[in-house]
Amino acid sequence: MKFYCKLLCSGLVYFFLGTLTCLAQKGSKVIYRDYTRMEATLLDSLKREGLSRFTGMRGLRQQAQSVKEGTRLKVEPYRGAKRGMKPGEIIAGRRASVLTVNKYQGATTRPETVVGWAAAVVLTPDGVCVSNYHVFLEMLEPSARLNPADSVMFVATEEGKVYPITEILSFSKSGDMAIFKIDTRGDILTPMPLGDDLPAGCNVHVLSHPEGYPYAYTNGVVFRTVTLNPKDIFARRMEITADYAKGASGGPIMDDCGNMVAMVSSIRAIFYSNQPPYSQQMNVKLTIPVSSLRMLMQGKNE
């Protein structure tokens, strides 16, 4: 009898907890954001700030060419959280740490415009950020050529606040990472807490900007952990099942506590045949584990 009483009590507890959770979700305010004018808003913000205050692509390239690959920095990572979070809490709590990387294109045969390019993650309150090497390829690769249409590369918040990129601090080509500094104009930014590399099977959460879909959330699990070159620590990759696409580069991969555990890098498609019809079957998402980022930030993996 006592057993059945305990079972009934446990069932009632779970029922009421489930009801409260449901009520909490129903009571949450749903915000519908208009992203269709995001690039126009950024163009207006650039003009208000004054384009002359932003480092041009050529100037940034000249500075970047003087940076030695693999330079170890002394950047203190933001301590990771230990409390588990629901997906909605992760989105709300971490979106301020995710910036958009954009390019300004001056008027030529077409009107001036702003083009969304990628994502970047805030590492420190004073504006040290990270994105992919391939996002800054034109500045970092000596043989690369600048697109004549691109005048300025800058970052922005979801609210449309724009910040100049002032310098590249360090990078790793094999690690597909570039750490850079922005001028926050005295603003205190919200840094992303860093976690640890995750093994296969662990949950992951992605907040990124697939082309035309800024601040999109997806989730999945770690698919595999591999190395592309056993002799190079920066060649490690964490493969995941969470979806992302072109434009998501530099976006954070987070654990269940909202800590950054990896960064979006690339996609590898698997086809049934190498001849038409190709019949694509699967996309493998390759990400950069946070241990590689820690190596550039501190010269060690703690």
Is 146 among the domain residues? yes
| Model pLDDT, residue 276 | 86
Same domain, 89 and 221: no
* Token couple for 182: 């922005």
In this structure, the answer to whether residues 60 and 162 fall within a common structural domain is yes
Q: How many domains does the chain have?
A: 2
Residue 4 has pLDDT above 80, yes or no: no
User: Are 241 and 275 part of one and the same domain?
Assistant: yes
CA pair distance 269, 247, nearest whole angstrom: 17
Mean pLDDT, rounded, of the chain:
91
Say if residue 136's pLDDT is above 60: yes
Domain-terminating residue out of 182, 216, 241: 182
Domain assignment present for 3: no
Asked, for residue 15, whether it belongs to a domain, the answer is no
Assess if residue 143 is contained within a domain.
yes
Predicted pLDDT of residue 109: 78
pLDDT band at 274 (very low <50, low <70, confident <90, very high): confident
CA–CA distance, 287 with 66 (Å, rounded to integer): 27
Question: How buried is 202 (Cβ within 10 angstroms: 0-12 exposed, 13-18 middle, 19+ buried)?
Answer: middle
Q: Smallest Cα–Cα separation from 192: which of 282, 143, 238, 252? A: 252
How many CA atoms are closer than 13 Å to the CA of 137, on its beta-carbon side? 12
Please, which residues bridge with residue 238 across strands? 225, 287
207 and 91 share one domain: no
Residue 227 main-chain phi, psi, to 5 deg: -125, 140
CATH number of the domain at 240, please. 2.40.10.10
Indicate whether 12 belongs to any domain. Answer: no
Shared-domain flag, residues 91 and 175: yes
Tell me, yes or no, whether 155 and 249 share the same domain. Answer: no
Is 2 within a domain? no
Percentage of residues of the chain with pLDDT beyond 90: 81
- Distance between CA atoms of 236 and 286, rounded to whole angstroms? 10
Residue 196 resides in a domain: no
Query: Are residues 108 and 216 both part of a single domain?
Result: no
Domain final position from 182, 217, 242: 182
Which residues, other chains included, contact 75 with Cβ-Cβ below 8 Å and sequence gap of 6+?
Answer: 123, 124, 128, 179, 297, 298
In whole angstroms, how far apart are CA 241 and each of 2, 10, 86, 202, 291? 46, 35, 19, 11, 20
One domain, residues 116 and 235: no
Asked if residue 61 belongs to a domain, the reply is yes
pLDDT, tens only, 19-66: 444 444 555 789 899 999 999 999 999 999 998 899 999 999 999 999
Of the chain, the end-to-end C-alpha distance in Å amounts to 53
Last residue of a domain, one of 182, 215, 245: 182
Which pLDDT does position 12 carry in this prediction? 45
Please indicate, yes or no, whether residues 173 and 235 belong to a single structural domain of this protein.
no
Are 155 and 224 found together in one domain? no
| Judgement on whether residues 226 and 154 belong to the same structural domain of the protein | no
Could you tell me if residue 102 is left (phi over 0), alpha (psi between -120 and 50 degrees) or otherwise beta? beta
Mean pLDDT of 275-292: 93
- pLDDT band of 277, cuts 50, 70, 90: confident
User: What's the pLDDT tens digit per position in 74-94?
Assistant: 999 998 889 999 999 999 999
Burial of 295 (0-12, 13-18, 19+ CB in 10 A): buried
And the tokens for 235? 């060649």
Residue with tokens 């620590």: 233
- In the numeric block, the tokens 């606040």 are attached to 161
State the pTM of this model: 0.88
Range of the domain at 108: 38-182
pLDDT digits (tens, 9 = 90+) for 94-112: 999 999 999 999 988 789 9
| Pairwise pLDDT comparison (164 vs 12), residue with the higher score | 164
Split at pLDDT 50, 70, 90, the class of 16 is very low
Considering the domain architecture, whether residues 95 and 221 belong to the same structural domain is answered as no
Phi first, then psi: what are they for 286, rounded to 5°?
-100, 130
